[in-house]
Amino acid sequence: MMKFSVLDQSPGKMGVSPDVCIRESIALAQECEKFGYYRYWLSEHHNTEAVAGSAPEILMAAIAATTKTIRVGSAGIMLPHYSALKVAEQFRVLEAIAPGRIDLGLGRAPGSDGRTAFALNPNAARAADNFPAQVRDVMAWTSGAALPLDHPFREITCEPRGPFNPEIWILGSSSYGAQLAGYFGLPYCFAYFFTDGEGTEEALDAYRRTFQPSEILQKPHCAIVVWALAADTRAEAEYWHRSRAVTWAVRTRGKFIAMPTPEEAEKFELTEMERVRLAASQDKALIGSGPELAARLRALGTGLGVDEMVITTGATSHAARVKSYQLLAKELNI
C-alpha cells in the first residue's frame, strides 16, 4: 500500500518573524505523528525569506526528541555544501536520539543562489561534480561499511555507532539523481511540486531502469513530493491557495518571497506573464475538500506507480495547515 508522509519547508509568512515558523514546524510534526503520517521531512534553503528552514539537521533533532513513532528526515541535505564525514556524524547522532527513525535525504542542488552557495562552500561548484563520491562516502560512514582501498580516509570511523543506520534517499527534480539512486540501489524521491509534474515519468522510468539491487534495497522504491492543500470546502482551499499561487507566480522575476495573506495576495500587482503563470498554477493546483483531494492524490500516485507520496503545503494560518493534513489523513485512511 502507498505510504503518505510530510515535507515541511517551514514556509516564511509576511509579517511573521521567521523564528515563529520554525516553532510551528515542531508543533506540526507532533500533530502529523498523531494523524498517522509515516515520515516527516525538513528541507534546506538559504538566503530566502520564502523558507525559514535553513538547517534541517538541527530542526530534525528537536522533532526527533519530541516525537515517538514518526520517521524524521531531511529532504534534503545539500551535500556539496558540506563534508561527507560531518554529515555522516550528524546523522549518526540523530540515530542515537531516535533509533531506527532517521532518514537522510541527499540532494545535489544548491538550495540557494550562486553567491550564497559560494559563501557556504567556496568549492561548491567542484563539489557538485563530486556528488556521487560524496554519496558513496556518506553511505559507508553511516553504515560502518568499508571505503575503497585507495581512499585517503579509509581508516576514519564515524561515531556514535549504534544498532541502526539512517535510511538514505536520493532526492531530485531531474533524471540525474534518479540514475544515481538506481546505481547505488537507494530509494528515490522526485520533487513533483518543483515542476508541476513535468519530467516525473521520465525520472521515475530512469530510476527503475537503472536500479541495481543492493544490501539496502532489493527492488526500486520511489516517492514523489506534491504540494497539496485540503479544507472543509473547495472554496476555502482556493482561498488559502491564493498565497502560494502569488509567490509561485512572482518567481518569474527571480523573487522568492514570503507568503502574503490571501487578502494581501489579491492586491499584488502582477505582470502579464505572471498572471498567465498564476492562472496555470491555479488550474493544476492540488487543492479541494478532503474527499475530493484525497481521491486525486491516490489517482496520481497509482498512475505513476509510486510507493510513497510526500505532501507539502503552505498557508499563512498554522491552523489551516494542520487542518489540511488532518483532513487528508482521514480520507486517505493513513
Q: List, for residues 16-64, the tens digit of each pLDDT value.
A: 999 999 999 999 999 999 999 999 999 999 999 999 999 999 999 999 9
What is the rounded distance in angstroms from the CA atom of residue 52 to the CA atom of residue 192? 21
Residue 21 lies in a domain: yes
Percent of the chain with pLDDT over 70: 100
- Range(s) of the domain holding residue 194: 3-232+288-331
Residue 264 lies in a domain: no
Q: List, for residues 257-311, the tens digit of each pLDDT value.
A: 999 999 999 998 888 878 887 787 777 899 999 999 999 999 999 999 999 999 9
Q: What is the structure's pLDDT at 145?
A: 94
157 — alpha (psi -120 to 50), left (phi > 0) or beta? Answer: beta
What average pLDDT does the structure give for the chain? 95
Residue 245 lies in a domain: no
What is the full DSSP assignment across 168-206?
Answer: EEEEESSHHHHHHHHHHT--EEE-GGGTTTTTHHHHHHH
Residue 303 lies in a domain: yes
Residue 219 lies in a domain: yes
Domain count, the chain: 1
Residue 22 lies in a domain: yes
CATH number at residue 220: 3.20.20.30
In what helix (H) or strand (E) does residue 73 lie, and over which residues does it extend?
strand 71-78
Residue 170 lies in a domain: yes
Residue 271 lies in a domain: no
